[in-house]
Amino acid sequence: MSATVLFDTPGPKARARSKAYTGITGLALAALLGWIGYRFWVTGQFDASMWARFEYTDVQWAIVQGLLTTLKVFAIAGAASLVLGAVLAVGRLSDHAPVRWVSAVIVEFFRAMPLVIMIYALYRWQFTDRPMWALVIGLTLYNGSVQAEVIRAGINAVPRGQAEAAYALGLRKSQVMRVVLVPQAVRSMLPTIISQLVVTLKDTSLGYVITYEELLYVGNQIAATTNTPNGFPYVQVMMVIAPIYIAMCLLLSWAARAIERRGGRTTSTGAALAGAGMAAGD
Amino acid sequence: MDFLNTLTDNTELFRKGFLGTLALTGSSALIALVLGTLMAAFRVSPVPVLRWIGTTWVTILRNTPLTLLFFASVFAVPKLGLNQLTYFVLAMATLGFYTSAFVCEVVRSGINTVPIGQAEAARSLGLTFSQTLRTVILPQAGRTVIGPIGSVLIALTKNSAIAGGFNVVELFSTQKTLTENANPLFAVFFWIALGYLLITLVLSGIFRGLENRLAVAR
Amino acid sequence: MTRTPFRTRTLGAAALVAAVALTGAACGKSGDSTNAGSGGGSSSSASKGGDTKSFSYKVNTAADLKGSPVWAKAKKTGKITIGVKADQPGLGFQDVGTKKYSGFDIEIARMVAADLGFAENQINYKTIDSAQREAALSGGQVDLYVGTYTINDERKKQVSFAGPYFVAGQDLLVQKSNSDITGPTTVKGKKVCSVEGSTPLQNISQKKYGATTSSFDKYSKCVNTLLSGQVDAVTTDDAILLGYAAQYPDKLKVVGKPFTKEPYGVGLKKGDTALQTAVDNAITAHEQSGDWKKAFEATLGKSGMTAPQPPAITEK
C-alpha cells in the first residue's frame, strides 16, 4: 500500500519508461531461462531415461512414504514445541526468580545453538538407533524456545486491565495465565506462531543429515539408486521433491496470512514481531 | 583432562574451522545484503515485472528448506555442466541467496516505517523513484532495520553450519575428524558450539552498538 | 493492491502441485524400477542390486551359543539385527521401492544368520553408514555388521571381527577418458572423493599422495560428483568401485592397480568370542560347501571379477 507513495501515478512518459524496463527485464529473464533450458538440454536432463523411474509405483510410493514421515515429524515436533513454548513463556513470567532464570537460560541457549549441531549431537549421543527422536527433540527444543518468546510477547501485549480484572475477581496467578492471558496471547500471535511452524516444517529436512528417512533423504536414495546413461538423476529428483516442500510451506504460510486478515486482533506488537520472527528463524 | 585436550590438541583444526565459518558467513552475508536490498527495491518499484520478480524470489526462497537448497546446489547444479564451482562457492551462493529473501523482507518493512510525508516531500521536489529510494527512503530505512538485520545475520551464522554437512571446511565439519579420532563427544560439540556462540555474541554486540548510535529519534 | 491476485495465484499453484504430487501415486508402472532408465547403450550393466537371485541357506535350528550375550538377546527376541550398506551395487544394496537388500555382503549375512539359527524372516537389516559402524556395534543397535568392513587394529580397539570373508584392495575409479591417473602416485593435486570415516579416505589423505580430498556419507554421492566432473577420482576398495564401473561402462573405469589389502570382516561387539567363533565357523562352512563361490558369482562376479580363493580366517 505504502509502496505507491514512493512514486506518482505514472504519466505517459513514465508509462513508456516502465514499458521499456518491462521489455528489458523480460528479455533478461527469457535469456536466463533459455540458458538454463540450454544447460538442461546439453547435459541430457530432458532425456526420457532420467525421468522414467518416477513412472513406477514403487518410487511414487517411496516418495509418499517420505512425505508422510516428514509430516509425522512435523506434527509431533510442532505440537510439542507449542506446549514447550507455552510452558517456557509462562516460566519466564513467573513470580519465582529461579523459575524465571531457568526458563530464560533454556530459551536463550537453544535459540543461540545452530539447530543442525544440536540434532547431530543428539543423534551421535543417544539416538544413533532412533534418528527420528534426535530430529523431533532438536526441533522441539529450538522451536519451542522461539515460540516461548512469541507467546511471551503476546502475553505482554494483552492490555494490563485484563489481568487486573481477573485478579480482582479472585483468580490465582495460574488461573489468570491459563484462562485469561495465554489464550489471548496465542490468538493474537497466531500468524507469528504459524510462521514459526513453517520454519519447523522446513527444518524437518535436517533429518537428511542424520540419515533419517524423511522426504529429502528418500529423494537422495531414489537418485543414488537409479542408473541412467547420463548418471544419477539428481536434477530430476530435485524438480519433484522441491515443489512438494514449497507447496506445503506455502499452504501453511497462506493459512497464517488468512488468519492475520480475518482475525483483526493482531496488535501492532504482533505484527512487528511477525516480521522479526520469520527472519530470525532459519 | 580429555575435555581440555580436545581443544588444545586440535587447535589447528579448530582454527581452520573457525576461519572457514567466518569466511563463509562473511561472504554470504555480503551477497545477502546486496541482493536482498535490490530485491526490496524491486518489490516497491513502479515496474510490475520487477515487483513480480521480487515477490517470486522471496516467496520461493522463504518456503524452501535450506537443507534442500544445499542438496540441490551441491548435487544437482554441477550436473548442468557447472562443475568448476567449489563446494565453498556453492555454499556461499546457497546461503547468500537464501538469506537475501529474509533481508529483502526486513528492508521492505523498514521502508514501510519511513513516514509517508518523507516520500511525498521527495516527490514534490521532483525526485524520481530511484532518487527517492536512494537518497531519502533507504538511508532512513537502513537505520530502523539494523536490529532485524542483526537477527538475520545471526540466523545466517547458525545456518552456515549446514554447509559442514556438504563438504565445506568450517566449524561443524571439524566434528568428523574429531569424533573419528575418539575425542569425547561432549567435548567436541561443546567447543564447536562455543565457536558459534562467540561469533553470534560479537555480531549481536556490534549490531546493538550500531543501533544505539544510529537510532532515529521519532 | 497487487498482492491479492498474487496470493490467490500462489495458493492455486500450491494446491495444484500438492494435488499432482498426491494423485501421481495413483497411476504408474509397477515392478522393479532400479534400472528403469538405462536403455540400450548400457545393457551390459549387469550389477543392478535389485535383480540378484536369492539363495536359501539351511537354518541351523539347533544353534546354541553359550556365553554370547548378544546371541542370547537376539534369540530371545527372535530377531537378529544386522547392519549393512545400502548403496553399494553388488555388495550391499537396497531397492528404494521394495526395500529389499541384495549383494555379496548380504549373502554372507544370510549365511551367517542361518548358521546362528535365524531364518530369512528373522533377519532385521539396518542401513548403517561407514562413520557410524563402531557406535552402532558397541551401542548394541546391531548384533552383527556385514558391510565392506575392513579389519584393522584401530577398529579392534572398539569392536571385534570375525573372518575375513573377502579381501579387497583400495583402487581408483576415474572417468573413462582419464589417462593421467594410473595409480595412487599420480593423484598429486587432483580432487579425490571418498567416504567419511573410511580407511581409503585416511589412506589417500596421507601427505605423500598430495591429493585434495572431499568426502560424503555415501559412495554414491562421490560417484555422482565424479560423473559430473567435480572430482577427478573416487577411491575405495576395488570391489565397491567395480560395481559402479559396471553401472556406467561407457563413462567410468577402475584403474586396476589395488594398492592396499582390505580384509573384510564381520563386525561384532568387542569381546564376544563365542559369537566370533560361531561366525568364523559359519563362514568356513559356507566357503567349503560352495555357497560362497555361488554367492560371489551371482553378485560381485557380475561386474567382471572372477571368484578368488576365499581368504583364511585370521580373527579367532
Question: What rounded mean pLDDT belongs to chain C?
Answer: 81
Q: State which of C222, C238, C254 marks the end of a domain.
A: C254
Together in a domain, C161 and C174: no
Together in a domain, C63 and C189: no
Give the C-alpha distances (Å, rounded to integers) separating C18 from A78, A204, A259, B179, C246.
21, 18, 21, 41, 38
Report d(CA C287, CA C91) in Å as an integer.
Answer: 17
- Number of separate helices (H) and strands (E) present in chain B: 11, 0
Chain C nearest CA to A228, separation (Å): 5
- Is C138 part of the contact surface with chain B (CB cutoff 8 Å)? no
Together in a domain, C83 and C137: yes
Per-residue confidence (pLDDT) for residue C141, from 0 to 100 = 87
Q: What is the pTM of this model?
A: 0.81
Together in a domain, C124 and C244: no
Q: Which range in B208-217, C42-51, C278-287 is most confidently predicted, on average pLDDT? A: C278-287
- Tell me the per-residue pLDDT of B182-202, one tens digit each, with 9 for 90 and over: 788 889 999 999 999 999 999
- For a pLDDT cut of 70, what percent of chain C falls above it? 83
Q: Tell me which residue in A6, A36, A203 faces B133 most closely, judged by beta carbons.
A: A6
Per-residue confidence (pLDDT) for residue A164, from 0 to 100 = 93
Asked if B67 lies within 8 A of A216 by C-beta distance, the reply is yes
Asked if C97 lies within 8 A of A128 by C-beta distance, the reply is no
CB C107 within 8 A of CB C299: yes
Report d(CA C213, CA C37) in Å as an integer.
Answer: 31
Together in a domain, C114 and C199: no
- Tell me the per-residue pLDDT of C40-66, one tens digit each, with 9 for 90 and over: 333 333 334 444 456 788 888 888 888
Instruction: Indicate the domain borders of chain B.
Output: 2-214
Together in a domain, C240 and C285: no
Instruction: Give CATH for domain B2-214.
Output: 1.10.3720.10
Instruction: Report whether pLDDT(B93) > 60.
Output: yes
Together in a domain, C273 and C147: yes
Low-confidence ranges of chain A (pLDDT < 70): 1-5, 263-282
Give the domain extent around C118: 50-168+262-303
Asked if C21 lies within 8 A of A244 by C-beta distance, the reply is yes
SS3 B63: coil
> Could you give the angle at the alpha carbon of C65 between the alpha carbons of C62 and C66, nearest 5°?
125
Q: Tell me which residue in C131, C215, C230 faces B83 most closely, judged by beta carbons.
A: C230
- Is C69 part of the contact surface with chain B (CB cutoff 8 Å)? no
Per-residue confidence (pLDDT) for residue C219, from 0 to 100 = 86
| Polymer length in residues for chain C | 316
Phi/psi of residue C174, nearest 5 degrees: -135, 170
Q: Tell me which residue in A209, A249, A282 faces B165 most closely, judged by beta carbons.
A: A209
Report d(CA A28, CA A44) in Å as an integer.
Answer: 24
| CB < 8 Å to B123, chain A | 5-8
Confidence of residue C199 (pLDDT cuts 50, 70, 90): confident
Question: How many domains does one find in chain C?
Answer: 2
- Tell me the per-residue pLDDT of C247-276, one tens digit each, with 9 for 90 and over: 788 888 898 888 888 899 999 999 899 999
| CB < 8 Å to B79, chain C | 224, 227-228
The 8 Å CB, 24+ separation contacts for B72-76 are B72/A234, B72/A238, B72/A242, B74/B166, B74/B167, B75/A220, B75/A223, B75/A234, B75/A238, B75/C221, B75/C224, B75/C225, B76/A234, B76/A235, B76/A237, B76/A238
- Tell me the per-residue pLDDT of C152-193, one tens digit each, with 9 for 90 and over: 888 898 899 998 999 989 999 999 888 889 888 888 889 999
Per-residue confidence (pLDDT) for residue A208, from 0 to 100 = 92
Give the residue from B172, B180, B181 with the most C CB atoms within 10 Å of its CB, the best one to mutate. Answer: B180
3-state secondary structure chain C: CCHHHHHHHHHHHHHHHHHHHHHHHHCCECCCCCCCCCCHHHCCCCCCHHHCCCCCCCCCCCCCCCCCHHHHHHHHHCCEEEEECCEECCCEEECCCCCCEECHHHHHHHHHHHHCCCCHHHEEEEECCHHHHHHHHHCCCCCEECCCCECCHHHHCCEEEEEEEEEECEEEEEECCCCCCCCHHHCCCCEEEEECCCHHHHHHCCCCCCCEEEEECCHHHHHHHHHCCCCCEEEEEHHHHHHHHHHCCCCEEECCCCCCCEEEEEEEECCCHHHHHHHHHHHHHHHHHCHHHHHHHHCHHHHCCCCCCCCCCCEC
**Residue C144 is assigned to a structural domain of this protein:** yes
**Residue C113 is assigned to a structural domain of this protein:** yes
Report d(CA C50, CA C70) in Å as an integer.
Answer: 31
**Residue C43 is assigned to a structural domain of this protein:** no
Average pLDDT over every residue of C67-88: 90
Chain A nearest CA to B53, separation (Å): 9
Together in a domain, C297 and C282: yes
- Tell me the per-residue pLDDT of C239-253, one tens digit each, with 9 for 90 and over: 889 888 887 888 888
Cis (ω within 30 of 0) for the bond into A114?
no
Instruction: Report whether pLDDT(B20) > 90.
Output: yes
Question: What CATH number corresponds to the domain at position C182?
Answer: 3.40.190.10
Report d(CA B50, CA B44) in Å as an integer.
Answer: 9
**Residue C55 is assigned to a structural domain of this protein:** yes
| CB < 8 Å to B55, chain C | 6
| CB < 8 Å to A62, chain C | 96-97
User: Partners of C253 in the beta sheet?
Assistant: C174
CB A156 within 8 A of CB A92: no
- Torsion-angle region of C256 (φ positive above 0: left; ψ -120 to 50: alpha; else: beta): left
Per-residue confidence (pLDDT) for residue C99, from 0 to 100 = 81
Together in a domain, C183 and C269: no
Instruction: Report whether pLDDT(C221) > 70.
Output: yes
Instruction: Give CATH for domain A57-272.
Output: 1.10.3720.10
- Chains contacting B (3+ CB pairs below 8 angstroms): A, C
Chain B nearest CA to A204, separation (Å): 8
Asked if B78 lies within 8 A of C229 by C-beta distance, the reply is yes
Per-residue confidence (pLDDT) for residue B1, from 0 to 100 = 58
Asked if B176 lies within 8 A of C228 by C-beta distance, the reply is no
- For a pLDDT cut of 90, what percent of chain C falls above it? 30
- Tell me the per-residue pLDDT of C85-133, one tens digit each, with 9 for 90 and over: 988 888 898 887 778 898 999 999 999 999 999 998 999 999 888 888 8
Per-residue confidence (pLDDT) for residue A264, from 0 to 100 = 55
Report d(CA A223, CA A216) in Å as an integer.
Answer: 11
Together in a domain, C131 and C88: yes
Together in a domain, C107 and C190: no
Residue A125: all three cell numbers together: 549421543
SS3 A56: strand
- Is C203 part of the contact surface with chain B (CB cutoff 8 Å)? no
pLDDT, greater one: A194 or C3: A194
**Residues 6+ away with beta carbon under 8 Å from A47:** A228, A229, A230
Per-residue confidence (pLDDT) for residue A3, from 0 to 100 = 47
Tell me which H or E stretch contains A35. helix A12-42
Together in a domain, C120 and C178: no
- Tell me the per-residue pLDDT of B105-135, one tens digit each, with 9 for 90 and over: 999 999 988 888 888 899 889 888 888 888 9
Question: What rounded mean pLDDT belongs to chain B?
Answer: 90
Asked if C25 lies within 8 A of A57 by C-beta distance, the reply is yes
